[in-house]
């Protein structure tokens, strides 16, 4: 799928969600016991389907070429799973004295705790011409790390908001996330040739299931007549999300291009996107598990629903600029490495 097609799909998902939020759809559809039975279809079947689909579509053999670039991997994973959530927590301490909706602020913290997405960072890195293999490895490896680390971070920063016991969270995560991923990878080994020939629409399947999860999540929230989401808070959150993305992209650029850095320009491109992107496909199911039955789940989910398509939009707008920098930087490095011609006397 091309970059523009991916961008349109992401904004289509966000548009549907916003329509649901504004229109306040029939609450009986999403609440427990409604026609869709989300306590069964969403909690177990839909979430498992997403991760089985991911395991089936993930080409693990493509990651071997990037496996030994340890320094780059450490940089990306530490930035996205340690620095990012910690920096957001410090920033939210300042925002806590403002009139911004507290549940949207908690949602910003959940964004910081999320792992990188499997697709968007790779798509943008490829569009620029950066180190695609490194992007593939870090997106996939970060997603696997996120299965364990993200719930820990959510409990660390928002533990008081969760009514689900620690052991229950991880047992459910294991059965609905880890097991389907492993089964998907095992099945892939036996039908690999068929998958290469037919190229099933894995992205469309995951998007449809994800849309169903988002739909029922918002229906659950708007079943509560006391829901309070003011426009001021929503606008400020959107502004903060774009500001955070721009700031962190610039920060990763500075770190990866400093004088004593050993990263190539192509590496820097992969670092910029992999370190700052967050997964909606992994994030929403994890929030559904960790905050199962929590009345403010949808408000907490809003920043992530905005962040994911926003990162695609911002990244696609910056592709020409980053590509121009990378090409000029590669040319400059090539010239400096060429041996100087001897001076004739």
Best CA proximity match to 220, nearest among 306, 300, 295: 295
Q: Which domains does the chain have, with CATH numbers?
A: 3-328 (1.20.1530.20)
Tally of CB atoms within 10 A around 47: 25
Best CA proximity match to 249, nearest among 110, 92, 124, 100: 124
Tens digit of each residue's pLDDT (9 = 90 or more) over 179-199: 887 888 788 878 878 877 877
Tens digit of each residue's pLDDT (9 = 90 or more) over 188-232: 878 878 877 877 766 666 666 656 666 665 665 555 555 566 778
Residue with tokens 């920043």: 303
Structure pTM?
Answer: 0.71
Tell which wins on pLDDT, 110 or 290.
110
Best CA proximity match to 130, nearest among 306, 329, 278: 329
Least confident piece of the model among 79-88, 204-213, 249-258, 284-293: 204-213
Q: What is the pLDDT of residue 250?
A: 94
Q: What is the pLDDT of residue 52?
A: 76
Measured distance CA(302)–CA(322) in Å, rounded: 29
Tens digit of each residue's pLDDT (9 = 90 or more) over 16-60: 555 544 444 444 444 455 555 555 565 567 667 766 776 676 666
- For every residue of 147-177, which 3-state class applies, written as one string? HHHHHHHHHHHHHHHCCCCHHHHHHHHHHHH
Residue with tokens 């949207």: 104
Q: State how far the alpha carbon of 157 is from the alpha carbons of 23, 96, 110, 142, in Å.
A: 32, 14, 8, 19
């Amino acid at each position: 799928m091309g970059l523009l097609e991916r961008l349109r799909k992401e904004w289509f998902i966000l548009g549907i969600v916003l329509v649901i939020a504004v229109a306040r759809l029939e609450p009986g559809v999403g609440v427990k016991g409604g026609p869709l039975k989300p306590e069964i279809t969403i909690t177990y079947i839909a979430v498992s389907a997403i991760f089985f689909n991911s395991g089936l579509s993930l080409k693990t053999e493509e990651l071997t070429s990037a496996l030994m670039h340890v320094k780059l991997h450490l940089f990306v994973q530490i930035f996205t799973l340690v620095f990012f959530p910690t920096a957001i927590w410090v920033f939210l301490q300042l925002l806590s004295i403002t009139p911004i909706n507290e549940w949207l602020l908690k949602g910003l913290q959940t964004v910081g705790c999320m792992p990188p997405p499997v697709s968007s960072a790779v798509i943008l890195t490829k569009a620029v011409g950066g180190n695609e293999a490194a992007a593939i490895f870090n997106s996939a490896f970060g997603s696997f790390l996120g299965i364990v680390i993200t719930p820990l971070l959510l409990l660390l920063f928002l533990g008081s908001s969760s009514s689900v016991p620690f052991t229950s969270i991880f047992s459910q995560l294991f059965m609905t996330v880890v097991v389907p991923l492993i089964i998907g990878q095992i099945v892939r080994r036996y039908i690999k040739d068929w998958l290469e020939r037919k190229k099933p629409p894995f992205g469309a399947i995951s998007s449809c299931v994800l849309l169903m999860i988002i739909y029922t999540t918002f229906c659950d929230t708007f079943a509560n007549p006391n829901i309070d989401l003011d426009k001021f808070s929503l606008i400020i959150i959107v502004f903060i999300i774009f500001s955070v993305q721009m700031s962190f992209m610039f920060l990763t650029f500075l770190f990866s291009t400093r004088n004593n850095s050993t990263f190539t320009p192509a590496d820097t491109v992969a670092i910029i996107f992999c370190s700052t992107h967050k997964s909606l496909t992994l994030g929403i199911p994890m929030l559904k598990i960790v905050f199962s039955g929590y009345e403010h789940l949808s408000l907490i989910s809003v920043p992530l629903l905005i962040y994911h398509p926003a990162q695609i939009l911002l990244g696609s707008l910056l592709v020409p600029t980053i590509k121009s920098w990378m090409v000029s930087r590669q040319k400059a490095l090539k010239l400096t490495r060429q041996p100087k011609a001897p001076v004739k006397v």
